[in-house]
Structure 1
Amino acid sequence: MGYPGYPPGGPYPPRPSPWPWILGTLVVVAALAVGVIAAGIFVVTQRDKNTEAATVPPPSAQTIAATNAPPEAAVDPQAAAFATLRARADSDRPFVSANLSERWVPQISAKRTGLVAPDVDGRVVTWTNTEILAQHQRLRQQYPGTRLIWSDEWNTFDLRGWWVTLAGATFAEPDSANAWCDAMAISADECFAKLVSNSRGPAGTTKYR
C-alpha cells in the first residue's frame, strides 16, 4: 500500500520509528512498578512497627517506681570505716580473751579520731576512722596474729575511745614484749608492753621502752 499524495512506487518518506513510544511506555511501567514496591515496603514496615508495639508489654508499677526512685544517698566513708573497725574488734574479741589477755603483749598502735600525731611516713595528721582502719589493716598484714580491741571494753585502759592494735606475740613479763618491739624496729611511741585484762585495773599494766 502506498502513501497518499505520493506517486506509486515512491519515493516515500521514512516510516517513523516505534522506539520512542516503546521507551516511553517502559519508563511509565518502571515508574509505576517502583511506586508499587515503595508502597509495599511502607505497608510492611508499618505493619512490623505495629506488631512490635503490640508485643512490648507496658511498664510495670515496679519498673515505673524504680525509674522514678531518687538516687541512693552517698555512703559516708567515715561511718563505713567506723562500722568496719567495730566489726573487726567484735570478731577479734574472743581470740583476744582466749589467747592474749592476762599476758604481756606488744601494743603496736593506739589511735582515736581527732588525734593529731605522725603517720607511718612521719607526717603529722589528724587521725580519722578511715586512716585508723587503713593503718590497722597494714599492721595486720605485716605482723601475723595482730588483733584489734576497743579500749572501752577492757579494764586495763583508763582512756576511752581508742582503737588499739595488739601484736599476736605473748610474753610472761613486759621486758620481753618491749624486746619484740626493738626487734621489729617499731618506734617507742607506737610499740611498748601492755597487759590486757578485765580482771584488774590499769595500774601496773603498761611498761614503756
Structure 2
Amino acid sequence: MRLSGAPLIVECERGEGTGGDRKTRLAEVDLSGSAEAGVARYNGLAADEVVETACAALEEIRRRDRPIVAAELAGQWQPQLASMRPGTGGHDCDSILRAHLKFRDPYPTSRLVWSGDWRNYDRKDWWVTLSGIGFPTAEGALQWCRNEGFGHDDCYDRLVSNDVGPEGTTRYQ
C-alpha cells in the first residue's frame, strides 16, 4: 500500500479462485474520482494482513478527508450514507472500506469521518460516510436523500460540528 501521493493503493478486493482458493488483490484508488480507478494485481497477503491494510486505508482516507470536512462542511447539514463500527454487525475494516468506496464511486464528493473526531457524535468509535454535500437546513439534506432514492433507514441528515453536542444534530426522513 502506498499512503502518500495522489493514488491510494489498498487491499480491498478479492478474487475467487478454483476449489475455494482465494487470491488477495491490490487495488489503486484515486480518491479524487472513481473508486474503480485502479487495476488489481495479485500480492499474496494473508487474511489478517487484509484487515490491517484496510484499517490503514481507512485511516489514510480519514486523514485526507478531515481538513475538507472541517473547512467546507462543518456546521452544515449533510446526508449521512453509512455508519459502521468494527465488531458490530459482522463489520471489520475491510467491509467498512468496501462500503465506503462503494459510495465514493457514484458520489465522488463523499467523505469519511471518524465519529470520535467530532463533538456532535455521541458514539465515538464509528466510521461514517457523508455525502460531502452541505445544506443550510436539515430539510435540504433530507430532500437530497429522497431525490437520490434512499429509504428512511438508508440516509439521514447529520450536522457535523465541534461547536455543538449530539442533541438535535440528527434528522430522519
Same fold by TM-score, threshold 0.5 exceeded? yes
Structure-to-structure mapping, 1:165-180, within 5 angstroms: 165-180=129-144
Name the residue aligned to 2:4. Answer: none
Name the residue aligned to 2:164. Answer: 200
TM-score (norm: length of structure 2): 0.71
Any idea what SS the aligned residue of 1:80 has?
helix
Q: Give the total of aligned pairs.
A: 129
Name the residue aligned to 1:140. Answer: 104
Deviations 1:6-59 (A, max 9, x none): xxxxxxxxxxxxxxxxxxxxxxxxxxxxxxxxxxxxxxxxxxxxxxxxxxxxxx
Runs of 4+ aligned structure 1 residues displaced above 6 Å come to none
Task: Report how far residue 73 of structure 1 moved.
Answer: 8.5
Any idea what SS the aligned residue of 1:177 has?
helix
The answer on 1:111 being equivalent to 2:75 is no
Any idea what SS the aligned residue of 1:76 has?
helix
How far apart, CA to CA, are the structure 1 residues paired with 2:164 and 2:45? Answer: 45
Question: Cα distance 1:127–1:193, how it changes in 2: closer, same or farther (>3 A)?
Answer: same
Task: Report how far residue 184 of structure 1 moved.
Answer: 0.7
Any idea what SS the aligned residue of 1:84 has?
helix
Structure-to-structure mapping, 1:11-160, within 5 angstroms: 74=46, 76-116=49-89, 126-160=90-124
How far apart, CA to CA, are the structure 2 residues paired with 1:80 and 1:73? Answer: 9
RMSD of aligned alpha carbons: 1.6
Task: Give percent identity, aligned residues only.
Answer: 38
How far apart, CA to CA, are the structure 2 residues paired with 1:101 and 1:174? Answer: 14
Which stretches in structure 1 are left out of the alignment for 5+ residues? 1-71, 117-125
Which stretches in structure 2 are left out of the alignment for 5+ residues? 1-43
Name the residue aligned to 1:182. Answer: 146
Is the helix fraction higher in 1 or 2? 1
Is the strand fraction higher in 1 or 2? 2
